[in-house]
Each structure stands twice: as structure tokens, then as C-alpha cells.
A and B are shown apart, each in its own frame.
Chain A
Amino acid sequence: MGHTIAEKILGSHAGGKPAKAGEIVVADVDFAMIHDARAGNALKMIEKLGAKSLPHVKRTALVLDHYSPPPNIEAANVHVEMRAFAEKHGSPLYDVGDGICHQVLPEGGHLTCGDLVVGTDTHSTTYGAFNAFGTGVEGTDVSAVMMTGKLWFRVPETIRIDLNGPLQPGVWAKDVTLAMLGRLRAEGANYMALEYAGSGVSAMAIDDRMTLSNHAAELGAKAAILEADEKTFAWLKAHGAATPKPVKADADAVYAQRIVLDTVNLAPQVARQHHIDDVVAVPDVQGQKIQVALIGTCTNGRLDDIRQAAAILKGKKLARGVRMIVTPASRAIYLAAMREGLFEILTAAGASVEAAGCGTCVNITGHYIAGDSQVVISSANRNFKGRLGNPKSEIWIGSAATVAASALTGVITDARTVAGGDWRAAA
């Protein structure tokens, strides 16, 4: 009987042989992450643990991304504590404006194919884009990793999702995940790992693959792992990662479920207000008015997202009454976007640019709040009522292409119908 990627990675970190879904393993963790929204708790747990030494602390990054920049004294003080901890123990530190944890960990070369990575954030599934097992944990877990280098895991069952064919121009990994959310519903893959495979995945650039693994968190997934290919290896090498140890699923691997999605014909999708699994195709809601357009977050704040937005808004103005904020996912992306002149295009069109960080997702910095009955179209990952600080506003979720096309027209718009909406990086 064959094994899934999740079974192989967890097994190889717990003695060697592939593990079996349902088994409990104590596995060696390659890298861990704590971000500022959970650091208060994590640092307390480390103290409670009272370990004589933390031999694995240098493989734990501290990332100041949620409160970037800090909106209040409490958050600023957490940052002071985190900087002091990193200084004392020699842990990698990513400071305010450096970027979102799930972007800076891969960019910093901290992980490679076959790795086991944990972070104090549900979207730690992102690392699956690099053929690593990435999953979200809490402060107690990271304390255990710092002290022992190990952690317990229940080996998850896997849902295999084959994406049939490259996406059309104007359609992105975001739309694939939204389609899956409409099908499996939020938490429909609770406790499980996902494996995305097929020609739809091969055709995607790394930025889009990261969206695919990242956004699986909304499906409740514990991990969302892709196979590695030449694009993966080239990206990892360019970012100074360790030598990849790629892991493939066996042809006779046992899956809890197999799904084939016809990605060639997929239309852009949006999640309507308040529920991430209330998903409809954009052409079915075309004309819905919006007043706020947001591009950013660990899901869709990457360079290709910003390039796509700039391609749509080049030489244009936002629709009357629309405000737009673009928040790059990292400082590296910010710099690249500046060098490419993307911020000039977006700023001239009427958008504003914020320092890299998580603000777009949850208004944690207080810069993204919408007025009563305003409709937000956002490239974020969650749209619970009140997520951006005002329960009387609505948040709709779509790709950066959909956000930019909608900002241009003032109504939810299919990017395939506007000039520049067909932009895609050369493969």
C-alpha cells in the first residue's frame, strides 16, 4: 500500500518509514515560527516550561507582522519583548515592515522540500507550496519545539485534488480555492491534508502556488502540499534554501477522497459577504457595487498580484467613490514592486500603498475600516462579519485581478472583460 506526501514527510521525521493516517507520531521539526499576535502567549508558555536551555531556538523565527506598524502600546510592548528574546537567543527576527510570516520564511530560505515546519498561525499551510509539511500550532507547541526539537502530530488523512489544465488568463489560484470552498464548504477538510496536483498546478507560478497552499486553511486543512518541480527548485535556490529533499506521493497512495477540478474552464469566483464558502462565479454577481478595494495578506499580497492589479489600472483612475489600498506581503515584494514602477501606476490611479504586514486581513492596524453599509472587495482569506472592524460593512473575497477590475469599474467585475485583465507572468 502506498503513501501520501503527508505520511511520508511525517514518517521521515519520526524514525524514517512512512507513517499511516491516524497514527500519532513524535516528529523532528525543521523550523518553527512565532508571530506577534501570538508571541505574548508563546513567551509565557516558554517561561512556564522552565527549560534549562532551548537548544532549538535558533530554528525558530520571530515575526512582527500582525501589528505592523503597532497600533497601540500593548502591541508595541510585545514587539519590545520579541526583539529582546531574539537578541538573547539568536533567533531570526523579522521586524515591522519586513513582511508577513508566511512570505518571509520562504524568502529567508528557512525551509525546503520535504521539511516539517510549524508556526503559530493557521495559514502555516503556505509552506506546502514548497513541498513541505507546514501546519499551524500554538505557543505551547513552539515552546516544546524550542526545547526538544520535536512535536506530536496525528498523521492526517489526505484529500487529493487534481487540477485539470492551466487556468485561463484572468483566473488565479484564488479562484480555485474559492471553487473548492463552494464545494467542500469551510472546514470541509478539517484535520486533513490536501494534495493539489495535475497540469493546473504545474502551469502555476510559485506566487499562485503559495495562494493555493495558504488558502487551504479556510477549508480547515492541516496541511496543503504540492509536489516539487523545476520551478520550485529554482525558487528555493534563488532564496538560499537548503538542498531540496523532494517528496512524491505513491501512485497507490490511500486517499480519503479524490477530486478532479476542471480548471481550464473555471471562471473567476467570489465569496459573498460574511461566509467564505458562500461562493458564486463573478459573472453571476457582476454589477454588485463596491466602495473599498483591498489587495494584500499572506493569501494574495504577492508580486504577481500587484503586477496584475497594475496591468489593469495602468493609465486609468479608480471608479468614483472607490478607495483602494495595496499592502505588499513583504519588504522584498515592496522593493520589487517599486523597482518595476507598479506603485507609481497604482498611486496615479488613486490607490494607496501601506507598509508590508497583515493589516489588510483583520484591520489590526486600524487602517482598513469600512463605513456602515460599505462593500469591500478584498484579496484576503476571511470575511466573517466584522472582520475589518465594522460589522455593518460587507466583505467580499476575490482574486487580486477581480479586486483591481472591480476598483476600476466600481462594481464586481470579471477581470477577463477589462484591458490588462489577462496579464500573467511569462512562465
Chain B
Amino acid sequence: MNIIKGSARVLGDEVSTDIHCSSKYLPGKDTAFIATVAFDNVAPGFAKSFVKGDVIVAGANFGINSSREQAVHVMHRMGVAAIVAPSFGRQFYRNAINNGMPVVECDIAGIAAGDAIEIDLVAGRIAVPAKNILRTVPPLPPALGALLQAGGLIPFLQKHPDWNIAGARA
């Protein structure tokens, strides 16, 4: 998997993707619409100024509680390249992997909006070269890497209906 490079877009702690990045509380609004307003209530103007390839750098428990898969579809539409946070809500993390969105658990101290960030998922390395920030995290388990590489669980199973997955016990 290639190294992901992008500009950091910052969000706070405990951001619920059900509330801020889904139509759960905006019934009838589709994914395309949500992509134009996502996270605006916690970071005004976030969606409009988001540029394809930006990396979301969020606080603790990103995607906390119940989390709809739609949130990841919205983020793909916005062009989110990856998400870095000290911790994720369990369901959100699972949905991200299942829908081909790179997610990394990492300390985000010192990383600010606009910083050029580099993520090496395989090596488990997060860097902001301009600030001399270099952090190591446990490398992504190969099985999850295989799901991400395929673009998510559905494209993976279309190619590998037998779950032939490197690094996972079956």
C-alpha cells in the first residue's frame, strides 16, 4: 500500500458520525447532500473547504457510539484520504475498514490544520516532516490491509468469495 500524503483537517474529541456525517437526523437527505454539510456543526465550513485528498485528524473516540456505514460513503465522496485519531468508536473503525477507508490510531498532539501529513500504514508511521513529528504505531494487520487494498469488504469478497485472506486465521 502506498504512502498517503495529505493536508490535515482537524476535528475535536468524541465526534459522532451518526450526528455529523449521516442522514440519521436529516431524513430524506442523500449521501451527496450530507457530503456538502458534514461536520459543519462541530467545525463550521468544514465540508465546503474540504479538498479531495485531505486527511482528517480527529480527537478521541472518533465515530463514537452507534455509527452508520453511510458516514464512510460520505467521506469517500468528500475525498477523505485517511483518518488519524487517538481512538475510534468500534463500529466506525469496522465500517471504515469494510468500506476501504484507511484509519490509523495515533497520538495527534502537535498536528494542526493545514499540516502536510504522511501516513505509512504498512510500516506504521505517521509524520509531519515540517514539524519534525514522527510517530510509530503498530503496523496494520495484513488481513485488514488486504481488505483496504481491495477497496473494502464487498470488492474483496467479489474477488475472493472463499475469504482467502493473508494473515487471518480461518
Contacts and interface: CB of A to CB of B under 8 A. Distances in A.
Interface of A: 14-15, 19, 23-27, 38, 41, 45, 48-51, 72, 74, 121-122, 136-141, 143-144, 147-148, 150, 152, 154, 186-187, 190-191, 220, 222, 382
Given A25-B168, A147-B157, A122 B66 contact: yes
**Range for the number of chain B residues in contact with chain A:** 35 or more
Interface string B81-99: 0000001011101110011
A24 B143 contact: yes
20 contacts: A23-B169, A24-B143, A24-B167, A25-B170, A26-B168, A26-B169, A41-B68, A49-B158, A122-B91, A136-B66, A136-B91, A138-B69, A138-B94, A140-B154, A150-B163, A186-B64, A187-B65, A187-B89, A190-B89, A191-B90
Given A41-B68, A382-B65, 17 more contacts: A23-B169, A24-B141, A24-B167, A26-B170, A27-B170, A45-B154, A50-B158, A138-B69, A138-B94, A140-B69, A140-B95, A140-B152, A148-B161, A150-B163, A150-B170, A152-B153, A187-B65
Nearest to A49: B154
Nearest to B97: A152
Contacts of A19: 169
Contact of A220 (B89, B161, B165): B89
B69 A144 contact: no
A26 B163 contact: yes
A90 B56 CA distance: 43
Given A48-B154, A74-B28, A220-B89, A190 B169 contact: no
Most buried by A among B68, B69, B90, B170: B90
Nearest to A23: B169
B7 interface: no
Given A26-B163, A220-B89, A220-B90, A144 B157 contact: yes
Interface in B134-156: 141, 143-144, 147, 152-154
A314 to B, nearest CB: 37
B157 A24 contact: no
Contacts of A382: 65
Contacts of B64: 186-187
B110 interface: no
A297 B66 CA distance: 16
B140 to A, nearest CB: 10
